Chain A
Amino acid sequence: MASRIIVVTSGKGGVGKTTTTANLAVALASMGNRVVAIDGDIGLRNLDVIMGLENRIVYTLIDALEGICRLNQTLIRDKRIENLYMIPTAQSKTKDAVTSEQMKGICEDLRNDFDYILVDSPAGIEAGFRNAAAGADEALVVTTPEVSAVRDGDRIIGLLESMDKSPIRLIVNRIRPQMVKKGDMLSVSDVLDVLAIDLIGMVPDDESVVTSSNKGEPLTLSTDSPASRAFKNIASRIAGNDVPFQDLDGLDSNGKGFLGKIKRAFFGRC
Protein backbone atom coordinates (compact mmCIF):
# COMPACT_ATOMS: atom_id res chain seq x y z
CA MET A 1 0.00 0.00 0.00
CA ALA A 2 1.23 3.48 -0.81
CA SER A 3 1.84 5.46 2.31
CA ARG A 4 -0.45 8.41 3.10
CA ILE A 5 0.51 11.60 4.87
CA ILE A 6 -2.48 13.31 6.47
CA VAL A 7 -2.42 16.65 8.30
CA VAL A 8 -5.05 17.33 10.97
CA THR A 9 -5.94 21.03 10.95
CA SER A 10 -8.46 23.60 12.13
CA GLY A 11 -8.93 27.33 11.85
CA LYS A 12 -9.89 27.88 15.46
CA GLY A 13 -7.90 26.49 18.35
CA GLY A 14 -9.13 23.96 20.88
CA VAL A 15 -11.62 22.21 18.61
CA GLY A 16 -10.06 18.75 18.97
CA LYS A 17 -7.16 18.31 16.51
CA THR A 18 -4.84 16.65 18.97
CA THR A 19 -7.61 14.44 20.35
CA THR A 20 -8.49 13.44 16.79
CA THR A 21 -4.88 12.75 15.81
CA ALA A 22 -4.30 10.51 18.84
CA ASN A 23 -7.54 8.56 18.47
CA LEU A 24 -7.19 8.05 14.73
CA ALA A 25 -3.58 6.95 15.11
CA VAL A 26 -4.62 4.31 17.64
CA ALA A 27 -7.62 3.20 15.59
CA LEU A 28 -5.65 2.92 12.34
CA ALA A 29 -2.90 0.96 14.09
CA SER A 30 -5.49 -1.40 15.65
CA MET A 31 -6.66 -2.13 12.12
CA GLY A 32 -3.19 -3.51 11.41
CA ASN A 33 -1.56 -0.48 9.79
CA ARG A 34 1.88 0.88 10.53
CA VAL A 35 1.17 4.35 11.89
CA VAL A 36 3.20 7.29 13.14
CA ALA A 37 1.67 10.41 14.69
CA ILE A 38 3.85 13.52 14.50
CA ASP A 39 3.35 16.43 16.88
CA GLY A 40 3.54 19.36 14.48
CA ASP A 41 2.38 21.90 17.05
CA ILE A 42 5.86 23.09 17.90
CA GLY A 43 6.24 24.90 21.20
CA LEU A 44 2.88 23.66 22.51
CA ARG A 45 3.65 19.99 22.90
CA ASN A 46 0.67 17.91 23.91
CA LEU A 47 0.15 14.97 21.58
CA ASP A 48 2.56 12.98 23.76
CA VAL A 49 0.46 13.71 26.85
CA ILE A 50 -2.83 12.73 25.23
CA MET A 51 -1.22 9.53 23.92
CA GLY A 52 0.27 8.87 27.35
CA LEU A 53 3.85 8.74 26.05
CA GLU A 54 5.36 11.86 27.59
CA ASN A 55 7.59 10.03 30.04
CA ARG A 56 9.25 8.14 27.21
CA ILE A 57 10.56 11.16 25.30
CA VAL A 58 14.29 11.18 24.74
CA TYR A 59 14.71 13.08 21.49
CA THR A 60 12.29 15.38 19.69
CA LEU A 61 11.61 16.33 16.11
CA ILE A 62 13.72 19.44 16.60
CA ASP A 63 16.69 17.40 17.83
CA ALA A 64 16.57 15.41 14.61
CA LEU A 65 16.43 18.60 12.54
CA GLU A 66 19.35 20.10 14.42
CA GLY A 67 21.38 16.96 13.79
CA ILE A 68 21.55 16.02 17.46
CA CYS A 69 20.07 12.60 16.66
CA ARG A 70 18.79 10.56 13.75
CA LEU A 71 15.11 10.71 12.82
CA ASN A 72 14.46 7.11 13.85
CA GLN A 73 15.79 7.87 17.34
CA THR A 74 12.87 10.26 17.86
CA LEU A 75 10.31 7.52 17.24
CA ILE A 76 8.56 6.42 20.41
CA ARG A 77 6.96 3.00 20.11
CA ASP A 78 3.59 2.64 21.78
CA LYS A 79 3.84 -0.59 23.76
CA ARG A 80 0.07 -0.99 23.99
CA ILE A 81 -0.45 -1.50 20.28
CA GLU A 82 1.70 -3.01 17.63
CA ASN A 83 2.97 -0.74 14.87
CA LEU A 84 2.03 2.54 16.55
CA TYR A 85 4.69 5.22 16.93
CA MET A 86 4.81 8.91 17.68
CA ILE A 87 7.33 11.69 17.15
CA PRO A 88 7.19 14.34 19.87
CA THR A 89 8.06 17.99 19.44
CA ALA A 90 9.99 20.35 21.67
CA GLN A 91 8.21 22.48 24.22
CA SER A 92 10.98 25.04 24.35
CA LYS A 93 11.17 26.04 20.70
CA THR A 94 8.98 28.43 18.75
CA LYS A 95 6.99 27.61 15.66
CA ASP A 96 9.77 28.98 13.44
CA ALA A 97 12.11 26.20 14.49
CA VAL A 98 11.03 24.12 11.47
CA THR A 99 10.79 25.13 7.82
CA SER A 100 8.39 23.76 5.22
CA GLU A 101 11.26 22.10 3.40
CA GLN A 102 12.43 20.34 6.56
CA MET A 103 8.92 19.14 7.32
CA LYS A 104 8.56 17.78 3.77
CA GLY A 105 11.89 16.01 4.13
CA ILE A 106 10.84 14.34 7.37
CA CYS A 107 7.52 13.17 5.97
CA GLU A 108 9.20 11.76 2.87
CA ASP A 109 11.78 9.92 4.99
CA LEU A 110 8.96 8.27 6.95
CA ARG A 111 7.01 7.22 3.87
CA ASN A 112 8.98 4.00 3.38
CA ASP A 113 8.32 2.75 6.88
CA PHE A 114 4.68 3.63 7.51
CA ASP A 115 1.22 3.22 5.99
CA TYR A 116 -0.15 6.33 7.68
CA ILE A 117 1.70 9.43 8.81
CA LEU A 118 -0.63 11.70 10.79
CA VAL A 119 0.53 15.25 11.50
CA ASP A 120 -1.10 17.20 14.33
CA SER A 121 -0.89 20.92 13.54
CA PRO A 122 -1.26 24.22 15.36
CA ALA A 123 -4.53 26.11 14.86
CA GLY A 124 -4.67 29.07 12.54
CA ILE A 125 -3.21 30.24 9.28
CA GLU A 126 0.26 31.26 10.33
CA ALA A 127 3.62 29.80 9.38
CA GLY A 128 3.29 27.05 11.99
CA PHE A 129 0.25 25.64 10.22
CA ARG A 130 1.85 25.97 6.77
CA ASN A 131 4.97 24.15 7.92
CA ALA A 132 3.04 21.35 9.57
CA ALA A 133 0.90 20.94 6.45
CA ALA A 134 3.78 21.23 3.98
CA GLY A 135 4.61 17.54 3.79
CA ALA A 136 1.02 16.23 3.73
CA ASP A 137 -0.85 14.78 0.76
CA GLU A 138 -4.29 15.08 2.28
CA ALA A 139 -5.97 16.98 5.09
CA LEU A 140 -8.61 16.51 7.76
CA VAL A 141 -10.26 19.73 8.91
CA VAL A 142 -11.73 19.60 12.41
CA THR A 143 -14.42 22.04 13.48
CA THR A 144 -16.99 22.30 16.22
CA PRO A 145 -20.54 23.31 15.29
CA GLU A 146 -19.99 26.97 16.20
CA VAL A 147 -20.20 29.93 13.87
CA SER A 148 -16.70 31.24 14.59
CA ALA A 149 -15.06 27.81 14.30
CA VAL A 150 -16.83 27.22 11.00
CA ARG A 151 -15.76 30.54 9.56
CA ASP A 152 -12.14 29.93 10.55
CA GLY A 153 -12.44 26.42 9.14
CA ASP A 154 -13.57 27.93 5.83
CA ARG A 155 -10.41 30.04 5.76
CA ILE A 156 -8.23 26.99 6.37
CA ILE A 157 -10.00 25.04 3.64
CA GLY A 158 -9.29 27.85 1.16
CA LEU A 159 -5.61 27.70 2.08
CA LEU A 160 -5.46 23.90 1.94
CA GLU A 161 -7.09 23.99 -1.51
CA SER A 162 -4.48 26.45 -2.71
CA MET A 163 -1.77 24.19 -1.26
CA ASP A 164 -3.11 21.35 -3.43
CA LYS A 165 -4.05 19.05 -0.57
CA SER A 166 -6.49 16.43 -1.74
CA PRO A 167 -8.79 15.11 -0.48
CA ILE A 168 -9.67 17.68 2.19
CA ARG A 169 -12.28 16.13 4.46
CA LEU A 170 -14.30 17.40 7.38
CA ILE A 171 -14.76 16.18 10.95
CA VAL A 172 -17.44 17.89 13.01
CA ASN A 173 -16.51 17.42 16.66
CA ARG A 174 -18.33 17.94 19.96
CA ILE A 175 -21.86 17.65 18.62
CA ARG A 176 -24.59 17.82 21.25
CA PRO A 177 -27.70 16.33 19.67
CA GLN A 178 -30.01 17.74 22.32
CA MET A 179 -28.82 21.27 21.63
CA VAL A 180 -29.06 20.77 17.87
CA LYS A 181 -32.64 19.55 18.24
CA LYS A 182 -33.56 22.62 20.24
CA GLY A 183 -31.95 24.82 17.60
CA ASP A 184 -29.27 26.05 20.01
CA MET A 185 -26.39 24.57 18.04
CA LEU A 186 -25.55 24.45 14.34
CA SER A 187 -26.40 21.10 12.82
CA VAL A 188 -23.93 19.10 10.76
CA SER A 189 -26.08 20.01 7.81
CA ASP A 190 -25.62 23.75 8.50
CA VAL A 191 -21.86 23.26 8.76
CA LEU A 192 -21.75 21.32 5.49
CA ASP A 193 -23.78 24.02 3.78
CA VAL A 194 -21.05 26.54 4.47
CA LEU A 195 -17.93 24.45 4.10
CA ALA A 196 -18.99 22.34 1.14
CA ILE A 197 -16.34 19.64 1.45
CA ASP A 198 -16.77 15.92 2.02
CA LEU A 199 -17.73 14.88 5.52
CA ILE A 200 -15.67 12.03 6.93
CA GLY A 201 -17.15 11.90 10.40
CA MET A 202 -19.06 13.37 13.29
CA VAL A 203 -17.98 13.04 16.88
CA PRO A 204 -20.37 13.65 19.77
CA ASP A 205 -19.40 15.70 22.77
CA ASP A 206 -18.41 13.01 25.20
CA GLU A 207 -17.06 13.32 28.74
CA SER A 208 -14.96 10.22 28.36
CA VAL A 209 -12.75 12.22 25.92
CA VAL A 210 -11.63 14.42 28.79
CA THR A 211 -10.99 11.60 31.23
CA SER A 212 -9.12 9.61 28.61
CA SER A 213 -6.82 12.49 27.68
CA ASN A 214 -6.05 13.10 31.31
CA LYS A 215 -5.11 9.45 31.72
CA GLY A 216 -3.13 9.42 28.49
CA GLU A 217 -5.25 6.61 27.07
CA PRO A 218 -6.87 7.48 23.77
CA LEU A 219 -10.48 6.27 23.78
CA THR A 220 -9.99 4.07 20.77
CA LEU A 221 -7.52 1.93 22.76
CA SER A 222 -10.24 0.23 24.74
CA THR A 223 -13.34 2.16 25.70
CA ASP A 224 -16.54 1.72 23.80
CA SER A 225 -17.97 5.21 24.24
CA PRO A 226 -19.88 7.18 21.59
CA ALA A 227 -16.81 9.28 20.71
CA SER A 228 -14.65 6.18 20.54
CA ARG A 229 -17.04 4.57 18.06
CA ALA A 230 -17.09 7.77 16.03
CA PHE A 231 -13.28 7.89 15.80
CA LYS A 232 -13.13 4.21 14.83
CA ASN A 233 -15.63 4.85 12.07
CA ILE A 234 -13.56 7.75 10.79
CA ALA A 235 -10.42 5.61 10.76
CA SER A 236 -12.27 2.97 8.81
CA ARG A 237 -13.49 5.53 6.26
CA ILE A 238 -9.95 6.87 5.89
CA ALA A 239 -8.87 3.33 5.09
CA GLY A 240 -11.43 3.34 2.28
CA ASN A 241 -14.27 1.39 3.88
CA ASP A 242 -17.84 2.42 3.28
CA VAL A 243 -19.15 2.99 6.80
CA PRO A 244 -22.67 4.41 6.99
CA PHE A 245 -23.05 7.71 8.84
CA GLN A 246 -25.00 7.78 12.10
CA ASP A 247 -27.83 10.22 12.48
CA LEU A 248 -26.14 12.18 15.24
CA ASP A 249 -28.18 15.31 14.73
CA GLY A 250 -31.38 13.38 15.19
CA LEU A 251 -32.72 15.58 12.43
CA ASP A 252 -33.08 13.15 9.61
CA SER A 253 -36.37 11.79 10.82
CA ASN A 254 -37.97 15.06 9.81
CA GLY A 255 -36.07 15.41 6.57
CA LYS A 256 -33.91 18.34 7.60
CA GLY A 257 -30.78 16.35 8.21
CA PHE A 258 -27.51 16.06 6.43
CA LEU A 259 -27.79 12.51 5.13
CA GLY A 260 -29.39 13.58 1.88
CA LYS A 261 -27.01 16.48 1.67
CA ILE A 262 -23.77 14.57 1.71
CA LYS A 263 -24.80 12.87 -1.49
CA ARG A 264 -26.11 15.97 -3.19
CA ALA A 265 -23.87 17.80 -5.61
CA PHE A 266 -22.86 21.05 -4.05
CA PHE A 267 -23.64 24.38 -5.53
CA GLY A 268 -20.59 26.22 -6.81
CA ARG A 269 -17.11 24.99 -7.49
CA CYS A 270 -16.33 23.77 -4.01
Chain B
Amino acid sequence: MIKLKGMYDSMVRCIISEELEAGDFSKEFSDIREKSQQFLPGAKVVLDFGGRGLSEEIVCRILSEFVWPSMIHVAAWITYDAASQDMLKRSGLPTSEPMPDTRVVEKGNMGALLLHRSLRSGQRVDHYGDVIIAGHVNDGAEVLSAGHVIVLGRLCGLVHAGCEGDENTSVVARSMEAMQVRIGSRIGSLDRGAIWWGKMVIVKVSEGSVLIDYWPVIK
Protein backbone atom coordinates (compact mmCIF):
# COMPACT_ATOMS: atom_id res chain seq x y z
CA MET B 1 0.00 0.00 0.00
CA ILE B 2 1.08 3.59 -0.60
CA LYS B 3 0.00 6.27 1.86
CA LEU B 4 0.42 10.04 1.87
CA LYS B 5 0.95 11.89 5.15
CA GLY B 6 1.38 15.59 5.79
CA MET B 7 4.67 16.77 7.33
CA TYR B 8 5.90 20.20 8.38
CA ASP B 9 6.26 23.05 5.83
CA SER B 10 3.49 21.54 3.70
CA MET B 11 5.85 18.73 2.87
CA VAL B 12 4.21 15.38 2.08
CA ARG B 13 5.51 11.98 3.09
CA CYS B 14 4.75 9.21 0.65
CA ILE B 15 5.07 5.89 2.48
CA ILE B 16 5.52 2.88 0.24
CA SER B 17 4.80 -0.16 2.39
CA GLU B 18 7.45 -2.87 2.36
CA GLU B 19 4.73 -5.46 1.84
CA LEU B 20 3.72 -3.92 -1.48
CA GLU B 21 5.02 -6.02 -4.37
CA ALA B 22 7.19 -4.12 -6.82
CA GLY B 23 4.97 -5.49 -9.57
CA ASP B 24 2.06 -3.47 -8.16
CA PHE B 25 3.97 -0.17 -8.07
CA SER B 26 2.59 1.11 -11.36
CA LYS B 27 -1.01 0.61 -10.34
CA GLU B 28 -0.61 1.98 -6.80
CA PHE B 29 1.28 5.06 -7.93
CA SER B 30 -1.28 5.84 -10.60
CA ASP B 31 -4.07 5.48 -7.99
CA ILE B 32 -2.30 7.95 -5.72
CA ARG B 33 -1.77 10.37 -8.59
CA GLU B 34 -5.43 10.25 -9.47
CA LYS B 35 -6.65 10.68 -5.90
CA SER B 36 -4.29 13.52 -5.11
CA GLN B 37 -4.05 15.41 -8.36
CA GLN B 38 -5.16 18.70 -6.79
CA PHE B 39 -2.22 19.04 -4.47
CA LEU B 40 0.56 16.89 -5.90
CA PRO B 41 1.90 19.19 -8.66
CA GLY B 42 4.66 21.28 -7.12
CA ALA B 43 4.45 19.55 -3.71
CA LYS B 44 7.63 18.63 -1.86
CA VAL B 45 7.51 14.90 -1.29
CA VAL B 46 9.62 12.53 0.77
CA LEU B 47 9.51 9.04 -0.76
CA ASP B 48 9.82 6.62 2.16
CA PHE B 49 10.57 3.00 1.19
CA GLY B 50 11.41 1.75 4.71
CA GLY B 51 13.77 -1.22 4.57
CA ARG B 52 13.09 -1.96 0.92
CA GLY B 53 16.09 -2.17 -1.38
CA LEU B 54 15.77 -0.22 -4.62
CA SER B 55 17.20 -1.36 -7.92
CA GLU B 56 18.22 1.06 -10.68
CA GLU B 57 15.28 -0.23 -12.66
CA ILE B 58 12.74 0.51 -9.92
CA VAL B 59 14.09 4.03 -9.46
CA CYS B 60 13.75 4.66 -13.21
CA ARG B 61 10.20 3.36 -13.16
CA ILE B 62 9.21 5.53 -10.21
CA LEU B 63 10.71 8.59 -11.88
CA SER B 64 8.96 8.02 -15.17
CA GLU B 65 5.65 6.71 -13.85
CA PHE B 66 5.19 8.88 -10.77
CA VAL B 67 7.69 11.67 -10.13
CA TRP B 68 7.73 13.30 -13.56
CA PRO B 69 4.08 12.94 -14.58
CA SER B 70 2.76 14.12 -11.19
CA MET B 71 5.08 17.17 -11.22
CA ILE B 72 6.17 16.64 -7.63
CA HIS B 73 9.46 17.81 -6.18
CA VAL B 74 11.21 14.89 -4.45
CA ALA B 75 12.88 16.15 -1.26
CA ALA B 76 14.39 12.78 -0.35
CA TRP B 77 14.49 9.08 -1.19
CA ILE B 78 14.50 7.25 2.13
CA THR B 79 15.53 3.59 2.37
CA TYR B 80 17.40 1.77 5.13
CA ASP B 81 19.11 -0.55 2.68
CA ALA B 82 22.73 0.63 2.63
CA ALA B 83 23.51 -0.55 -0.91
CA SER B 84 20.45 1.29 -2.25
CA GLN B 85 21.44 4.47 -0.40
CA ASP B 86 24.84 4.32 -2.05
CA MET B 87 23.27 3.84 -5.48
CA LEU B 88 20.92 6.81 -4.95
CA LYS B 89 23.79 9.01 -3.76
CA ARG B 90 25.90 8.06 -6.77
CA SER B 91 22.98 9.15 -8.94
CA GLY B 92 22.87 12.54 -7.23
CA LEU B 93 19.54 11.87 -5.53
CA PRO B 94 19.04 13.15 -1.95
CA THR B 95 18.89 10.35 0.64
CA SER B 96 18.72 12.12 3.99
CA GLU B 97 15.62 13.39 5.77
CA PRO B 98 15.05 16.98 4.66
CA MET B 99 15.33 19.68 7.32
CA PRO B 100 12.54 22.10 7.99
CA ASP B 101 13.78 25.36 6.47
CA THR B 102 11.42 27.82 8.15
CA ARG B 103 12.63 26.95 11.63
CA VAL B 104 16.12 27.94 12.62
CA VAL B 105 17.64 24.81 13.96
CA GLU B 106 21.07 24.03 15.16
CA LYS B 107 23.15 21.22 13.81
CA GLY B 108 22.31 17.95 15.47
CA ASN B 109 18.95 19.27 16.52
CA MET B 110 16.84 18.63 13.48
CA GLY B 111 14.04 16.70 15.08
CA ALA B 112 14.29 13.10 16.07
CA LEU B 113 13.79 10.09 13.90
CA LEU B 114 11.95 7.33 15.74
CA LEU B 115 12.23 3.96 14.13
CA HIS B 116 9.92 1.14 15.20
CA ARG B 117 11.99 -1.71 13.86
CA SER B 118 15.27 -3.54 14.17
CA LEU B 119 18.06 -2.83 11.71
CA ARG B 120 19.52 -5.93 10.14
CA SER B 121 23.03 -6.43 8.82
CA GLY B 122 23.45 -4.28 5.69
CA GLN B 123 20.82 -1.73 6.72
CA ARG B 124 21.71 1.84 7.58
CA VAL B 125 19.98 4.88 9.01
CA ASP B 126 21.51 8.24 8.16
CA HIS B 127 19.74 11.16 9.83
CA TYR B 128 20.56 14.79 10.37
CA GLY B 129 19.23 14.79 13.93
CA ASP B 130 18.66 12.50 16.91
CA VAL B 131 17.77 8.89 16.26
CA ILE B 132 15.77 6.57 18.47
CA ILE B 133 15.67 2.92 17.49
CA ALA B 134 12.79 1.03 19.07
CA GLY B 135 14.39 -2.29 18.20
CA HIS B 136 17.83 -3.82 17.90
CA VAL B 137 20.80 -2.61 15.88
CA ASN B 138 22.20 -5.93 14.68
CA ASP B 139 25.81 -6.71 13.96
CA GLY B 140 26.55 -5.28 10.50
CA ALA B 141 23.90 -2.52 10.67
CA GLU B 142 24.82 1.18 10.93
CA VAL B 143 23.29 4.27 12.48
CA LEU B 144 24.71 7.66 11.50
CA SER B 145 23.24 10.61 13.34
CA ALA B 146 24.20 14.24 13.58
CA GLY B 147 22.71 14.19 17.09
CA HIS B 148 22.18 11.68 19.89
CA VAL B 149 21.39 8.02 19.37
CA ILE B 150 19.20 5.94 21.66
CA VAL B 151 18.88 2.23 21.08
CA LEU B 152 16.03 0.67 23.03
CA GLY B 153 17.18 -2.85 22.19
CA ARG B 154 20.54 -4.51 21.72
CA LEU B 155 23.32 -2.45 20.15
CA CYS B 156 25.57 -4.84 18.20
CA GLY B 157 26.22 -2.76 15.08
CA LEU B 158 28.01 0.50 14.45
CA VAL B 159 26.65 3.76 15.83
CA HIS B 160 28.14 7.13 14.99
CA ALA B 161 26.56 9.97 16.98
CA GLY B 162 27.41 13.58 16.17
CA CYS B 163 28.62 12.44 12.78
CA GLU B 164 28.71 16.06 11.58
CA GLY B 165 31.26 16.81 14.26
CA ASP B 166 29.19 17.54 17.37
CA GLU B 167 30.96 15.92 20.32
CA ASN B 168 28.34 16.99 22.82
CA THR B 169 26.23 14.11 21.68
CA SER B 170 25.79 10.74 23.33
CA VAL B 171 24.77 7.18 22.68
CA VAL B 172 22.45 5.32 25.02
CA ALA B 173 21.89 1.59 24.58
CA ARG B 174 19.69 -0.76 26.54
CA SER B 175 22.16 -3.55 25.97
CA MET B 176 25.67 -2.62 24.87
CA GLU B 177 27.10 -5.38 22.68
CA ALA B 178 29.15 -3.41 20.15
CA MET B 179 32.94 -3.38 20.03
CA GLN B 180 33.04 0.20 18.80
CA VAL B 181 31.08 3.44 19.20
CA ARG B 182 31.87 6.67 17.35
CA ILE B 183 31.09 10.16 18.58
CA GLY B 184 32.11 13.16 16.51
CA SER B 185 35.62 12.44 15.30
CA ARG B 186 36.38 10.01 18.14
CA ILE B 187 36.23 6.27 18.38
CA GLY B 188 35.66 4.33 21.58
CA SER B 189 36.24 0.62 21.71
CA LEU B 190 35.13 -2.08 24.05
CA ASP B 191 35.75 -5.78 24.27
CA ARG B 192 33.48 -8.63 25.13
CA GLY B 193 34.98 -9.07 28.55
CA ALA B 194 34.28 -5.48 29.59
CA ILE B 195 32.03 -5.00 32.60
CA TRP B 196 29.66 -2.91 30.50
CA TRP B 197 29.11 -5.65 27.95
CA GLY B 198 25.42 -6.46 27.73
CA LYS B 199 24.52 -3.70 30.19
CA MET B 200 22.50 -0.54 29.80
CA VAL B 201 25.00 2.23 29.18
CA ILE B 202 25.59 5.79 28.07
CA VAL B 203 28.60 6.71 25.92
CA LYS B 204 29.88 10.32 25.79
CA VAL B 205 32.96 12.35 25.04
CA SER B 206 34.62 14.00 27.98
CA GLU B 207 37.86 15.99 27.79
CA GLY B 208 38.62 14.52 24.43
CA SER B 209 38.10 10.86 25.22
CA VAL B 210 35.18 8.54 24.79
CA LEU B 211 33.71 7.49 28.13
CA ILE B 212 31.26 4.73 28.87
CA ASP B 213 29.17 4.46 32.00
CA TYR B 214 26.16 2.61 33.29
CA TRP B 215 22.89 4.32 32.65
CA PRO B 216 21.14 5.26 34.77
CA VAL B 217 24.19 5.96 36.90
CA ILE B 218 24.34 3.50 39.79
CA LYS B 219 25.54 5.16 42.96
Contacts and interface: CB of A to CB of B under 8 A. Distances in A.
A147 B192 CA distance: 14
A152 interface: yes
Given A154-B138, A158-B81, A268-B136, A164 B121 contact: no
Most chain B beta-carbon contacts within 10 A, residue among A125, A159, A162, A164 = A162
A158 B122 contact: yes
Interface residues of A, number: 20
Interface stretch (B89-97, B99-107, B112-120, B211-219): B112-120
Given A158-B81, A161-B18, A194-B138, A269 B117 contact: yes
A152 B122 CA distance: 9
B18 to A, nearest CB: 6
A24 B126 CA distance: 41
Contact of A155 (B20, B22, B140): B140
Give the interface size bracket for B toward A.
20 to 34
Interface string A45-84: 0000000000000000000000000000000000000000
B207 interface: no
Contacts of A196: 118, 136
Main SS of the interface on chain B?
A: loop
A270 B117 contact: yes
Interface in A119-163: 125, 147, 151-152, 154-155, 157-159, 161-163
Contact of B135 (A125, A151, A268): A268
Contact of A267 (B18, B22, B53, B153): B153
Interface SS of chain A: helix
Interface string B22-66: 100000000000000000000000000001110000000000000
B164 interface: no
A143 to B, nearest CB: 12
A161 B116 CA distance: 16
B120 A268 contact: no
Contacts of B138: 151, 154, 194
A154 B135 contact: no
A270 B135 CA distance: 9
Nearest to B139: A151
Interface in B146-172: 153, 156
Contacts of A159: 53, 122
A151 B52 contact: no
Given A162-B53, A268-B117, 14 more contacts: A125-B122, A147-B139, A152-B121, A154-B138, A154-B140, A158-B122, A162-B52, A164-B20, A164-B21, A194-B138, A196-B118, A268-B134, A268-B136, A269-B117
Closest 5 CB pairs of A and B: A268-B135, A269-B117, A158-B120, A268-B118, A155-B121
5 contacts: A11-B121, A158-B123, A161-B120, A194-B136, A194-B138
Interface of A: 11, 125, 147, 151-152, 154-155, 157-159, 161-164, 194, 196, 267-270
